[in-house]
Amino acid sequence: MHSFAVNNFRMKYAFLFLMVLVMACQPNKNGNIPVHPIKKIVLEGLNHPWSIAFLSDAEALISEKDGNLIHANLITKEKTIIKGFPQDLTDSIRTIHFGDNSGIFEVLIDPDFENNKWIYFSYAAKKNGVGTTTKVVRAQLDQDSLHNHQTLLVAEPYTREYFHYGGGMTFGTDGHLYITIGERLFWERDEPPVPIAQDITDKRGKIYRIHPDGSIPADNPNLGPDAVPGVYALGIRAAQGITVQPETGAIWFSEHGTIQGDELNILQPAANYGWPIVTSGKLRSSDYTPPKMEGMDFAPPVWFWHHTVAPTGLCFYTGNEFPAWKNNLFVPGLSRGSLWRFHVEADTIKSAEELFLHNRVRIRKVRQAPDGKLYILTDEDNGKLVQITSNQN
Amino acid sequence: MHSFAVNNFRMKYAFLFLMVLVMACQPNKNGNIPVHPIKKIVLEGLNHPWSIAFLSDAEALISEKDGNLIHANLITKEKTIIKGFPQDLTDSIRTIHFGDNSGIFEVLIDPDFENNKWIYFSYAAKKNGVGTTTKVVRAQLDQDSLHNHQTLLVAEPYTREYFHYGGGMTFGTDGHLYITIGERLFWERDEPPVPIAQDITDKRGKIYRIHPDGSIPADNPNLGPDAVPGVYALGIRAAQGITVQPETGAIWFSEHGTIQGDELNILQPAANYGWPIVTSGKLRSSDYTPPKMEGMDFAPPVWFWHHTVAPTGLCFYTGNEFPAWKNNLFVPGLSRGSLWRFHVEADTIKSAEELFLHNRVRIRKVRQAPDGKLYILTDEDNGKLVQITSNQN
């Protein structure tokens, strides 16, 4: 009797446990019911947001190109302006003309933010009466205020060309900070005899690799005694998006061409990406002929488009909501409201999909939250943080 | 005691039953392991294959543009030349110059082939000393020979323009046969005052709707007393691909532009697709100005590319191997070896993916076998039938 009762009890227990297992066996959401992405607006009223850095799944720092650096809560929708932003920020609202790229660009948190509270940001800094340039600063965040500012990079000279600041940033798997700086020219006909992006003594049109405190890593490539400090690669026209490929640790960056010539590249030390000597597009100035640079190796793009996309802040997806998208590269665009998905294996692009063709909007950045959710920032007066979620949620 | 034993027995039974259920809960192949398409060569040695009609999952009729109509076994790889093909077939090998489009085009089997043995095919027919044109014939297939030939359509006039025959065919859900006929011109500057595709009295540059025996359905649109018989739509330049959307019964067709202007369209009765008056691309003859046609409504494309694809024989996918692709439209291309996948809901295209970017080959046709497997035909001297299968098979 007793033993039976015990068996009986054990079996009841196992029975209930198995019931739970069985009930958990729902038809897989990625199985016979196709999973399709839909957009869910999480936050509105952002002034041309440029970048987002997640402090948690629910809290993020958002840089508004034409506004402020903001601390946003994705649940309560509360937005707090971060105090103590540098005073030499160019106000792109007041400055000049349509198409002005000035403003606040990238914002990153330190990999060890939990302990050191460092945040990193880039913006268009002004020098009165001279012009503007791209500046990278870090500061410690405390109670929504910035403290202990340290200037890490100033891409001099200051000029009155208000385009192609670059300002894209990412931390590499090596813990170093990688920064894109554009060449700041609109017309190639204004290039000096040695084009800006090809001039190793000019800070513009380069990609930099520095320590988080701004010092130069000893193992940076040696580009000669005249090279500006921290230069890692050259021949860059207008690169905004730069990100790490988790599977390989490789760094990918997007670049704007002129007439076509929008590209994706993989970063290599001392590589020359060719602008304006070679491009997958056309030069904007029909009367400009770039100088020949015999014997120079130019790194070819991994991908280029046959039409204008204006690719911006890209990222690789590692979340679980879209299993078929695992390790895919997402590239948003300003032009035509593009959101591209690339199936990438190592450095090979196997397919390219343009999403939301029926629902286009200018997109500045695509980012993944710590919980794996995928978000985009729309470049609008009423800019939005939009979650790319599944039609089955 | 007894009742306990019974309970115990019942519970053991339920226990085992639940064990089976639990064991059946394998991780779904479309779940955490991404499903990606790969190519599997099924058949080789085809002479620029143009179309395929499946007699079963293992047997098919394949039309070789530069060869023969073939009966192929996909298992044994055996190929048999169908006897009794019409004698006025143009030999595109012997004819003229590079880029000659002449040859055998579409092949279809009758929806009731099992009983009536009718097959339908289109080809470039010649009239000695005059030229060629598109001809549509049906015949009964018996022992790999054609019998009881019936000519259904001859797109006169015969001309020495060896381009843009059209020749795409599909059966509609209404049981009628739909046929695309190109306008046969290479240069717009050769257009007559009323452009060919706009001239309702000219057989070229139109889409036709006929009964399987060649007679004209009573409910065809009335395009006036001078309209050529069977015309269903006009303003067509060079359409090869035409297929039915299973979800809606709508008929979609692909069209070649000149410089860009490659399009996807949905067929509507009496619709005018605009060539050469309007196009999403550019005219090839810079010195040609199409006549104004005031008050004429032109049907806009559902989709057009910003670069050249040369889209060909498209089809919708309804198989089970790629659940996420259910009801997607597949469009192959000759140019750049394209294979495009469109996520379509009703008449809205939501995303567009170009597949196999690392493995391009000219593709003339994409077709689905009765078992739901997806195949492409490559346009090569050593043409291939390739199955698009999953990396998990």
Q: Does A31 contact B34 at a Cβ distance shorter than 8 Å?
A: no
Minimal Cβ distance to B18: which of A7, A22, A352: A22
Structural contact between residues B344 and B244, judged by C-beta atoms closer than 8 angstroms:
no
Question: Residue A44's CB: how many other CB atoms inside 10 A?
Answer: 13
Q: Does B32 contact A320 at a Cβ distance shorter than 8 Å?
A: yes
Q: Which of A233-242, A287-296, B200-209, B220-229 has the lowest mean pLDDT?
A: A287-296
The whole-angstrom distance between A19's CA and the closest CA on chain B is: 7
Could you tell me the two tokens for A281? 């597009």
Chain B residue numbers touching A20 (CB-CB < 8 A): none
Spatial distance between the Cα atoms of A298 and A17, rounded to a whole number of angstroms: 62
What number of helices (H) and strands (E) belong to chain A?
Answer: 2, 24
User: Best interface-test mutation with A: which of B6, B10, B32, B390 has the largest number of A CBs within 10 A?
Assistant: B32
Could you tell me the two tokens for A377? 């920032």
What's the mean pLDDT when you consider all of chain A? Answer: 91
What per-residue confidence (pLDDT) applies to A97? 60
Percent of chain B predicted with pLDDT > 90: 84
Q: Does B34 contact A354 at a Cβ distance shorter than 8 Å?
A: no
What per-residue confidence (pLDDT) applies to B295? 87
Spatial distance between the Cα atoms of B143 and B166, rounded to a whole number of angstroms: 29
The whole-angstrom distance between A135's CA and the closest CA on chain B is: 37
Q: Does A12 contact B11 at a Cβ distance shorter than 8 Å?
A: yes
Percent of chain A predicted with pLDDT > 90: 83
* pLDDT at residue B235 greater than cutoff 90: yes
Higher pLDDT, A31 or B302: B302
What per-residue confidence (pLDDT) applies to B2? 44
Strand order in the sheet with B363-368: B37-46, B383-390, B374-378, B363-368
What per-residue confidence (pLDDT) applies to B95? 57
Contacts of A272 (CB under 8 A, 6+ apart): A198, A233, A234, A235, A296, A297, A298, A299
Taking only the tens place, the pLDDT of each residue in B337-380 is 999 999 999 999 999 999 999 999 999 999 999 999 999 999 99
What per-residue confidence (pLDDT) applies to B32? 53
Strand order in the sheet with B131-142: B104-109, B118-127, B131-142, B145-154
Q: Residue A112's pLDDT band (boundaries 50, 70, 90)?
A: very high
Spatial distance between the Cα atoms of A226 and A199, rounded to a whole number of angstroms: 10
Chain A residue numbers touching B355 (CB-CB < 8 A): 350-351
What per-residue confidence (pLDDT) applies to A8? 54
Taking only the tens place, the pLDDT of each residue in A14-36 is 544 444 443 433 444 344 567 89
Could you tell me the two tokens for B143? 């022992």
- Written as one string, the DSSP assignment of A231-280 is EEEE--S----EEE-TTT--EEEEE--SBS--EEEE--TT-B--TTTS-S
Among A320, A328, A323, A333, residue whose Cα is nearest residue A369: A320
User: Best interface-test mutation with A: which of B29, B30, B308, B330 has the largest number of A CBs within 10 A?
Assistant: B30
What per-residue confidence (pLDDT) applies to A12? 52
> How high is the ipTM of this complex?
0.84
What per-residue confidence (pLDDT) applies to A6? 43
What's the mean pLDDT when you consider all of chain B? Answer: 91
Taking only the tens place, the pLDDT of each residue in B62-89 is 999 999 999 999 999 999 999 999 999 9
Taking only the tens place, the pLDDT of each residue in A345-373 is 999 999 999 999 999 999 999 999 999 99
Q: Residue B294's pLDDT band (boundaries 50, 70, 90)?
A: confident
* A339 → chain B, closest CA residue: B351
Structural contact between residues A313 and A295, judged by C-beta atoms closer than 8 angstroms:
no
Higher pLDDT, A29 or A178: A178
Q: Is the dihedral of CA B267, B268, B270, B274 positive or negative?
A: negative
Minimal Cβ distance to A323: which of B34, B351, B354: B34
Angle between helix B2-24 and helix A2-24 axes, rounded to 10 deg = 30
